[in-house]
Structure 1
Protein backbone atom coordinates (compact mmCIF):
# COMPACT_ATOMS: atom_id res chain seq x y z
CA UNK A 1 0.00 0.00 0.00
CA UNK A 2 1.17 3.47 -0.69
CA UNK A 3 1.38 6.16 1.95
CA UNK A 4 -1.46 8.01 0.23
CA UNK A 5 -3.74 4.97 0.48
CA UNK A 6 -2.93 4.54 4.15
CA UNK A 7 -3.67 8.19 4.83
CA UNK A 8 -7.16 7.80 3.35
CA UNK A 9 -8.03 5.24 5.99
CA UNK A 10 -6.44 6.99 8.93
CA UNK A 11 -7.44 10.60 8.31
CA UNK A 12 -10.61 11.66 10.16
CA UNK A 13 -11.09 14.55 7.72
CA UNK A 14 -12.72 12.12 5.30
CA UNK A 15 -15.64 11.43 7.61
CA UNK A 16 -18.76 13.55 7.34
CA UNK A 17 -21.14 14.83 9.94
CA UNK A 18 -24.89 15.17 9.37
CA UNK A 19 -27.35 17.48 11.10
CA UNK A 20 -30.56 15.49 11.57
CA UNK A 21 -34.19 15.99 12.54
CA UNK A 22 -37.17 13.65 12.92
CA UNK A 23 -38.16 11.99 9.61
CA UNK A 24 -41.51 13.84 9.58
CA UNK A 25 -39.99 17.25 10.34
CA UNK A 26 -40.16 19.13 7.04
CA UNK A 27 -38.71 22.43 8.32
CA UNK A 28 -36.50 24.19 5.80
CA UNK A 29 -33.41 25.43 7.63
CA UNK A 30 -30.44 27.28 6.21
CA UNK A 31 -26.95 26.64 7.46
CA UNK A 32 -27.22 30.01 9.22
CA UNK A 33 -30.42 28.85 10.97
CA UNK A 34 -28.65 25.69 12.10
CA UNK A 35 -25.70 27.69 13.41
CA UNK A 36 -28.09 29.96 15.32
CA UNK A 37 -29.94 26.98 16.82
CA UNK A 38 -26.72 25.36 18.01
CA UNK A 39 -25.48 28.63 19.53
CA UNK A 40 -28.74 29.40 21.32
CA UNK A 41 -29.60 32.43 19.19
CA UNK A 42 -32.74 30.68 17.90
CA UNK A 43 -35.03 28.70 20.19
CA UNK A 44 -37.60 27.51 17.66
CA UNK A 45 -38.05 26.19 14.14
CA UNK A 46 -39.23 28.66 11.45
CA UNK A 47 -42.84 27.56 12.05
CA UNK A 48 -42.58 28.67 15.69
CA UNK A 49 -42.41 25.20 17.25
CA UNK A 50 -39.80 24.97 20.01
CA UNK A 51 -36.62 23.05 19.28
CA UNK A 52 -34.54 20.74 21.46
CA UNK A 53 -30.88 20.87 20.41
CA UNK A 54 -28.62 17.90 21.12
CA UNK A 55 -24.84 17.72 20.86
CA UNK A 56 -22.42 14.84 20.96
CA UNK A 57 -20.09 14.65 23.98
CA UNK A 58 -17.15 17.03 24.20
CA UNK A 59 -14.17 15.49 22.43
CA UNK A 60 -16.26 13.41 20.01
CA UNK A 61 -14.62 13.75 16.57
CA UNK A 62 -17.99 14.35 14.88
CA UNK A 63 -18.82 17.13 17.33
CA UNK A 64 -15.42 18.69 16.64
CA UNK A 65 -16.01 18.46 12.89
CA UNK A 66 -19.44 20.10 13.30
CA UNK A 67 -17.97 22.88 15.47
CA UNK A 68 -15.32 23.56 12.85
CA UNK A 69 -17.39 23.24 9.66
CA UNK A 70 -20.78 24.64 10.73
CA UNK A 71 -20.07 26.88 13.71
CA UNK A 72 -16.68 28.02 12.40
CA UNK A 73 -15.14 27.56 15.86
CA UNK A 74 -12.70 25.25 17.56
CA UNK A 75 -13.84 23.05 20.44
CA UNK A 76 -12.12 25.44 22.87
CA UNK A 77 -13.91 28.44 21.33
CA UNK A 78 -17.29 26.70 21.61
CA UNK A 79 -16.59 25.78 25.23
CA UNK A 80 -15.59 29.38 26.02
CA UNK A 81 -18.69 30.70 24.23
CA UNK A 82 -21.03 28.55 26.36
CA UNK A 83 -19.08 29.23 29.56
CA UNK A 84 -19.60 32.96 29.05
CA UNK A 85 -23.33 32.56 28.35
CA UNK A 86 -23.82 30.32 31.39
CA UNK A 87 -21.85 32.68 33.65
CA UNK A 88 -23.97 35.64 32.58
CA UNK A 89 -27.19 33.64 32.79
CA UNK A 90 -27.95 34.16 29.11
CA UNK A 91 -27.97 30.55 27.99
CA UNK A 92 -27.19 26.91 28.53
CA UNK A 93 -25.42 24.62 26.07
CA UNK A 94 -27.27 21.86 24.24
CA UNK A 95 -27.66 18.59 26.10
CA UNK A 96 -24.91 16.10 25.28
CA UNK A 97 -25.88 12.56 24.32
CA UNK A 98 -23.97 9.61 22.87
CA UNK A 99 -24.05 8.86 19.16
CA UNK A 100 -26.27 5.84 19.87
CA UNK A 101 -28.74 7.95 21.86
CA UNK A 102 -28.77 10.68 19.21
CA UNK A 103 -30.57 8.69 16.50
CA UNK A 104 -33.02 7.26 19.06
CA UNK A 105 -33.91 10.63 20.60
CA UNK A 106 -34.20 12.49 17.30
CA UNK A 107 -36.30 9.70 15.75
CA UNK A 108 -38.70 9.80 18.73
CA UNK A 109 -39.26 13.56 18.95
CA UNK A 110 -40.11 15.87 16.00
CA UNK A 111 -38.86 18.88 18.01
CA UNK A 112 -35.31 17.54 18.26
CA UNK A 113 -32.26 18.37 16.15
CA UNK A 114 -28.86 16.72 16.50
CA UNK A 115 -25.54 15.69 14.98
CA UNK A 116 -24.32 12.26 13.89
CA UNK A 117 -21.68 10.66 11.72
CA UNK A 118 -23.19 10.50 8.23
CA UNK A 119 -22.68 6.74 8.20
CA UNK A 120 -25.08 6.40 11.17
CA UNK A 121 -28.05 8.04 9.42
CA UNK A 122 -31.14 5.83 9.14
CA UNK A 123 -34.57 6.20 7.57
CA UNK A 124 -35.90 7.21 11.01
CA UNK A 125 -34.35 10.68 10.62
CA UNK A 126 -33.99 13.33 7.92
CA UNK A 127 -30.66 14.97 7.06
CA UNK A 128 -30.72 18.77 6.89
CA UNK A 129 -27.07 19.31 5.96
CA UNK A 130 -23.97 17.21 5.64
CA UNK A 131 -20.32 18.28 5.88
Structure 2
Protein backbone atom coordinates (compact mmCIF):
# COMPACT_ATOMS: atom_id res chain seq x y z
CA UNK A 1 0.00 0.00 0.00
CA UNK A 2 1.19 3.46 -0.70
CA UNK A 3 1.58 6.25 1.84
CA UNK A 4 -1.40 8.08 0.27
CA UNK A 5 -3.80 5.30 1.25
CA UNK A 6 -2.62 5.46 4.87
CA UNK A 7 -3.07 9.23 4.84
CA UNK A 8 -6.60 8.87 3.48
CA UNK A 9 -7.49 6.23 6.07
CA UNK A 10 -6.03 8.41 8.82
CA UNK A 11 -7.98 11.47 7.67
CA UNK A 12 -11.21 9.48 7.38
CA UNK A 13 -10.71 8.10 10.89
CA UNK A 14 -10.01 11.58 12.25
CA UNK A 15 -13.17 13.04 10.68
CA UNK A 16 -15.27 10.10 11.87
CA UNK A 17 -14.06 10.57 15.45
CA UNK A 18 -14.61 14.34 15.27
CA UNK A 19 -18.20 13.82 14.14
CA UNK A 20 -18.86 11.21 16.83
CA UNK A 21 -17.42 13.40 19.61
CA UNK A 22 -19.41 16.43 18.52
CA UNK A 23 -22.61 14.36 18.56
CA UNK A 24 -22.20 13.39 22.20
CA UNK A 25 -23.68 15.62 24.85
CA UNK A 26 -22.66 16.48 28.38
CA UNK A 27 -25.93 16.39 30.28
CA UNK A 28 -26.86 17.84 33.63
CA UNK A 29 -29.86 17.06 35.80
CA UNK A 30 -32.14 20.01 36.40
CA UNK A 31 -35.16 20.79 38.52
CA UNK A 32 -37.18 23.84 39.49
CA UNK A 33 -35.11 26.57 41.12
CA UNK A 34 -37.17 26.26 44.33
CA UNK A 35 -36.74 22.47 44.61
CA UNK A 36 -34.19 21.77 47.35
CA UNK A 37 -34.06 17.99 46.95
CA UNK A 38 -30.71 16.22 47.06
CA UNK A 39 -30.21 13.12 44.94
CA UNK A 40 -27.73 10.40 44.25
CA UNK A 41 -27.41 8.37 41.06
CA UNK A 42 -29.51 5.50 42.44
CA UNK A 43 -32.37 7.89 43.35
CA UNK A 44 -32.34 9.38 39.85
CA UNK A 45 -32.40 5.90 38.32
CA UNK A 46 -35.38 4.94 40.48
CA UNK A 47 -37.29 8.10 39.51
CA UNK A 48 -36.67 7.73 35.77
CA UNK A 49 -37.42 3.99 35.80
CA UNK A 50 -40.73 4.52 37.60
CA UNK A 51 -39.65 2.84 40.83
CA UNK A 52 -39.80 6.02 42.95
CA UNK A 53 -42.39 8.78 42.84
CA UNK A 54 -40.88 11.24 45.34
CA UNK A 55 -37.74 13.29 45.91
CA UNK A 56 -35.65 12.88 49.06
CA UNK A 57 -37.57 15.80 50.60
CA UNK A 58 -40.86 13.88 50.24
CA UNK A 59 -42.24 15.99 47.40
CA UNK A 60 -43.62 14.45 44.21
CA UNK A 61 -41.06 13.75 41.45
CA UNK A 62 -42.18 13.95 37.81
CA UNK A 63 -39.46 12.81 35.39
CA UNK A 64 -39.19 14.46 31.97
CA UNK A 65 -37.41 12.58 29.18
CA UNK A 66 -36.20 13.88 25.87
CA UNK A 67 -37.27 12.04 22.73
CA UNK A 68 -35.46 8.89 21.74
CA UNK A 69 -32.55 9.72 19.46
CA UNK A 70 -31.76 13.07 21.08
CA UNK A 71 -28.08 13.39 22.01
CA UNK A 72 -28.97 14.38 25.59
CA UNK A 73 -31.25 11.33 25.90
CA UNK A 74 -28.55 8.96 24.68
CA UNK A 75 -26.01 10.45 27.09
CA UNK A 76 -28.45 10.30 30.02
CA UNK A 77 -29.60 6.75 29.31
CA UNK A 78 -26.07 5.39 29.05
CA UNK A 79 -24.38 7.61 31.66
CA UNK A 80 -27.00 7.74 34.41
CA UNK A 81 -29.35 4.82 33.77
CA UNK A 82 -26.56 2.52 32.57
CA UNK A 83 -28.55 1.24 29.59
CA UNK A 84 -28.93 2.08 25.93
CA UNK A 85 -31.96 4.03 24.76
CA UNK A 86 -33.30 0.90 23.03
CA UNK A 87 -32.99 -1.05 26.30
CA UNK A 88 -34.90 1.71 28.12
CA UNK A 89 -37.62 1.63 25.44
CA UNK A 90 -37.91 -2.15 25.79
CA UNK A 91 -38.10 -1.79 29.59
CA UNK A 92 -40.98 0.69 29.33
CA UNK A 93 -42.76 -1.34 26.64
CA UNK A 94 -42.82 -4.32 28.98
CA UNK A 95 -44.16 -2.25 31.90
CA UNK A 96 -46.82 -0.59 29.76
CA UNK A 97 -47.90 -3.93 28.25
CA UNK A 98 -48.29 -5.53 31.70
CA UNK A 99 -50.04 -2.46 33.09
CA UNK A 100 -47.31 -1.85 35.66
CA UNK A 101 -46.07 1.54 34.56
CA UNK A 102 -46.34 4.66 32.46
CA UNK A 103 -43.15 6.05 30.91
CA UNK A 104 -42.02 9.60 31.64
CA UNK A 105 -43.37 12.40 29.46
CA UNK A 106 -41.12 13.00 26.44
CA UNK A 107 -40.28 16.40 25.00
CA UNK A 108 -38.41 17.49 21.89
CA UNK A 109 -35.66 19.74 23.19
CA UNK A 110 -33.68 21.22 26.07
CA UNK A 111 -35.88 24.34 25.85
CA UNK A 112 -39.01 22.20 26.30
CA UNK A 113 -37.50 20.57 29.40
CA UNK A 114 -36.65 23.99 30.85
CA UNK A 115 -40.16 25.32 30.13
CA UNK A 116 -41.86 22.37 31.84
CA UNK A 117 -39.55 22.46 34.85
CA UNK A 118 -39.80 26.22 35.32
CA UNK A 119 -43.61 25.84 35.46
CA UNK A 120 -43.69 22.87 37.86
CA UNK A 121 -41.50 22.43 40.97
CA UNK A 122 -42.16 18.66 40.91
CA UNK A 123 -40.45 18.08 37.54
CA UNK A 124 -36.94 16.76 37.05
CA UNK A 125 -35.18 16.41 33.72
CA UNK A 126 -31.85 16.59 31.95
CA UNK A 127 -30.45 18.98 29.38
CA UNK A 128 -27.20 19.66 27.62
CA UNK A 129 -24.95 21.60 29.99
CA UNK A 130 -24.69 24.43 27.46
CA UNK A 131 -28.47 25.02 27.64
CA UNK A 132 -28.69 25.75 31.40
CA UNK A 133 -30.55 28.96 32.29
CA UNK A 134 -31.52 30.76 35.50
CA UNK A 135 -34.99 29.20 35.23
CA UNK A 136 -33.70 25.84 36.53
CA UNK A 137 -31.38 24.51 39.23
CA UNK A 138 -28.63 22.07 38.31
CA UNK A 139 -28.62 19.04 40.60
CA UNK A 140 -25.28 17.65 41.70
CA UNK A 141 -25.43 13.95 42.41
CA UNK A 142 -24.22 12.96 45.89
Scaled by the length of structure 2, the TM-score of the pair is: 0.82
Aligned to 2:136: 125
Conserved? CA contact 1:52–1:112, under 8 Å: yes
**Higher RCO, 1 or 2 (CA under 8 Å, sep at least 6)?**
1
Q: What is the root-mean-square deviation of aligned Cα atoms in Å? A: 2.1
Q: How many residues align?
A: 129
1:47 aligns to 2:57 (yes or no): yes
- Report the CA distance shift for 1:84/1:9 in structure 2 as closer, same or farther (over 3 A): closer
- Point out where structure 2 has 5 or more consecutive residues left out of the alignment: 1-10
Aligned to 2:82: 72
Aligned to 1:112: 123
Kindly state the Cα deviation for residue 86 of structure 1 after the two structures are TM-superposed.
Answer: 0.5
1:25 aligns to 2:17 (yes or no): no
Larger Rg belongs to? 2
- Point out where structure 1 has 5 or more consecutive residues left out of the alignment: none
- Report the CA distance shift for 1:80/1:26 in structure 2 as closer, same or farther (over 3 A): same
Runs of 4+ in 1 over 2 A off after TM superposition: 3-10, 12-15
